[in-house]
Amino acid sequence: MIVIENVSLSHRDTPILRDIDLSLPRGGITALVGPNGAGKSSLFSLIARLQPLQKGRITVDDMPVDTTPSRTLAQRLAILRQDGAVANRLTVREIVGFGRFPHHRGRPAAEDLALVDAALSEFDLHSLADRFIDTLSGGQRQRAIVAMTFCQGTDYLLLDEPLNNLDMFHARQLMRCLRTIADERQRTAIIVLHDINQAASYADRIVALRDGRVIADGTPDDVLTEDHLESIFGYRMKVEHMNGKPFVLHHL
Amino acid sequence: MTGRPCAKPQATKVAACAAFVVLVLLSICIGAGEFSPRGLFTDPQALELFLVSRLPRTVAAVLTGAALSIAGLIMQALVRNRFVEPSTAGTAQSASLGILIMTLFFPGAALAVKTLAASILALLGTSLFLAMAHRLPPAQPYLVPLFGLVYGGVIGAVVTFVGWQTELLQYIDIWTNGEFSGVVRGRYELLWGTAVMLVVAWRVADRLTLLSLGRDVSIGLGLGYQRTLQLGLVIVSVISALTVTIVGIIPFVGLVVPNLVSRIMGDNLRGTIPWVALSGAALVLSCDILGRVIRYPYEIPVATVMGVVGAFLFLYLMFQRSAHA
């Protein structure tokens, strides 16, 4: 379980997060939604110890993120950053393989290699496995980075806009894959999503942030109402229901 | 075409090894004094020449070339920019400032002590460069090398000014213009320290590769980011200090060799470090041999030859780059 208690963050004098209290139990998919600048990525970087905590406390399975050894955390929690731009000349297989680094520290065992192969298949990357990543398209590169994050094999996955650059086919495949590991292996995915309908279809829970505060938290049915959506995004949008799930006509 | 790692890496590797062996033999055989390899077993004077001059000089060129290219490779990983190297971004200039300070205040100090002072100054100078380079906008990749040139230039100017004021200019030239003609038995052995650094670099190759993926990815994968950064800085500084003290500054090696190898083999340092080292050694050896034969029996310093050869290699890299971009 990830527990966030009383966390605030400010940059110079600008408040970014204000008194966040949130607990994310093990298992399932939680979507983090909100307008640009709501503090979603900042919250992620605090959970993933990429930025020092200014105020409050965050624990992952009872381990405080600011004092637990980085390697121990890396075996429990993986993060995909929004701007994970990698311009190196590493092959796709090499970069996915680095996802296993927290487990083998440079000496991959047969199990690590098998997991890399599995991730390459899962994300449709076998034909690109020996290509240098700097020669790939944006979407192919994104798939490679997502595969690397998956390959880390952690109980918790923090994915900041993982659908960036992905075409519909691969976006759907990624969301289904997350659903599978959440259902079958009790793993936990916390995803920043801008496509609210992806959240409606795949998430178990939606947490909405605005101006550094949690302003809605619940199942997709609870959160995706016209009133809530207006208070989150600042305009009124129509919500229909299809196959029993909310469907937001946000583009009209 | 360059999308995949080299189609025949095996052939390239064998060719590189063969070229290296030939260069070593040439370096041993070429020089102002009469020498033939056969004489090693029959002529005690030939053996003496070999042990006192030819072997040390060849070993020094190999160590220097290998170490400088690895220092360049690591610096590029630390800064996350392909166009920096210790000899242009202030590391080598800081090292020579260290030697200058020692020469001024402790002229009697042993070479090892001077090297230590040079290492410390190099570490300070490079840390400052790195701290500033990490603040520059990453979307402007050419800003970092330009800043490095200015930064290195300023420190170099301080060295020259102090040298001029204290009438040490000629002395300074010894360590700013690298050459191997002064390398004889008893005067180069400290250079073996660079071999230690090479072994350390190879042992932490995976961590250095992770550094080049950036801070967030490194920390996310459980790397001790700051410690790895510091280790990289120490390797770069010690290599620069040792080579500057004993051989002098040699430009371009740390810049062109890692880039050429990366073009063929990629950036996974675990696999490329031995080949970067070998290619660097081969490049410095060939430039030293060229410098010995162009005006035979006189010599042109290896730094001068490398300045010309390296500039051409760099231009080649730039044009290749735009052709594929």
Count of alpha carbons within 13 angstroms of residue B187, beta-carbon side: 10
Give, in order, the Cα–Cα distances in Å from A44 to each of A53, A157, A177, B266, B280. Answer: 12, 10, 21, 31, 43
Query: What average pLDDT does range B298-317 have in this prediction?
Result: 93
pLDDT in tens, A123-171: 889 999 999 998 898 889 999 999 999 999 999 999 999 998 899 999 9
Task: Give the Cα separation of B325 and B319 in Å (integer).
Answer: 10
Domains of chain A by residue range: 1-75+155-168+184-251, 85-152
Instruction: Quickly count helices (H) and strands (E) in chain B.
Output: 15, 0
| Cross-chain Cβ contact A74/B220 below 8 Å | yes
Q: What is the pLDDT of residue B325?
A: 43
Closest residue on chain B to A87 (Cα):
B213
| Cross-chain Cβ contact B222/A50 below 8 Å | no
Q: Does the pLDDT at position A12 exceed 60?
A: yes
> Quick one: how far is CA A4 from the chain centroid?
16
pLDDT in tens, A160-206: 999 988 999 999 999 999 999 899 989 999 999 999 999 999 999 99
Q: What is the pLDDT of residue A84?
A: 61
Backbone angles phi, psi at A187, to 5 degrees: -90, 160
| Cross-chain Cβ contact A101/B224 below 8 Å | no
Structural Rg of chain B based on CA atoms: 20
Q: What is the pLDDT of residue B123?
A: 95
> Is domain A1-75+155-168+184-251 in CATH 3.40.50.300, yes or no?
yes
Query: What average pLDDT does range A211-240 have in this prediction?
Result: 94
Q: What is the pLDDT of residue A114?
A: 95
| Cross-chain Cβ contact B219/A48 below 8 Å | yes
Task: Give the Cα separation of B139 and B82 in Å (integer).
Answer: 14
Q: What is the pLDDT of residue B1?
A: 39
Query: What average pLDDT does range B194-220 have in this prediction?
Result: 94
Q: Does the pLDDT at position B2 exceed 50?
A: no
**Nearest CB to B216; choose among A50, A101, A102:** A50
Interface test with B, best of A101, A137, A156 (most B CBs within 10 A): A101
The answer for A 116-145 residues in CB contact with B (under 8 A) is 130-132, 135
Provide the mean pLDDT of chain B: 90
Q: Does the pLDDT at position B5 exceed 80?
A: no
Closest residue on chain B to A77 (Cα):
B220
Dihedral of CA atoms A136, A138, A141, A145 in degrees, nearest 10, equals 170
- Answer for the pair B3, A131: CB distance below 8 angstroms, yes or no: yes
Provide the mean pLDDT of chain A: 92
Domains of chain B by residue range: 9-324
Say whether the peptide bond before residue B274 is cis (omega within 30 degrees of 0).
Answer: no
Residue A238 tokens, joined: 């129509």
Chain A contact set for B258 (CB, 8 A)? none
Q: Does residue B44 belong to the interface with chain A, where contact is any CB pair within 8 Å?
A: no
Closest CA to A4 of A217, A237, A229: A217
Q: What is the pLDDT of residue A85?
A: 62
Confidence band of B323 (pLDDT split at 50, 70, 90): low
Task: Give the Cα separation of B310 and B318 in Å (integer).
Answer: 12
Dihedral of CA atoms A170, A171, A173, A179 in degrees, nearest 10, equals 160
pLDDT in tens, A110-129: 999 999 999 999 888 999 99
ipTM value of the model?
A: 0.90
Task: Concatenate the DSSP letters of all residues of B283-319 into one string.
Answer: HHHHHHHHHHHTTTTS---HHHHHHHHHHHHHHHHHH
> Is domain B9-324 in CATH 1.10.3470.10, yes or no?
yes
Three-state SS at A249: strand
CB-based burial label for B256 (10 Å; 0-12, 13-18, 19+): buried
| Cross-chain Cβ contact B219/A49 below 8 Å | yes
Q: Does the pLDDT at position B141 exceed 60?
A: yes
Task: Give the Cα separation of B55 and B62 in Å (integer).
Answer: 11
| Cross-chain Cβ contact B217/A71 below 8 Å | no
Closest residue on chain B to A68 (Cα):
B222
| Cross-chain Cβ contact B217/A48 below 8 Å | no
Task: Give the Cα separation of A9 and A7 in Å (integer).
Answer: 7
Instruction: Quickly count helices (H) and strands (E) in chain A.
Output: 10, 12
Q: Does the pLDDT at position B86 exceed 70?
A: yes
The answer for A 173-232 residues in CB contact with B (under 8 A) is none
Q: Which amino acid is at B91?
A: T
Q: Does the pLDDT at position B157 exceed 60?
A: yes
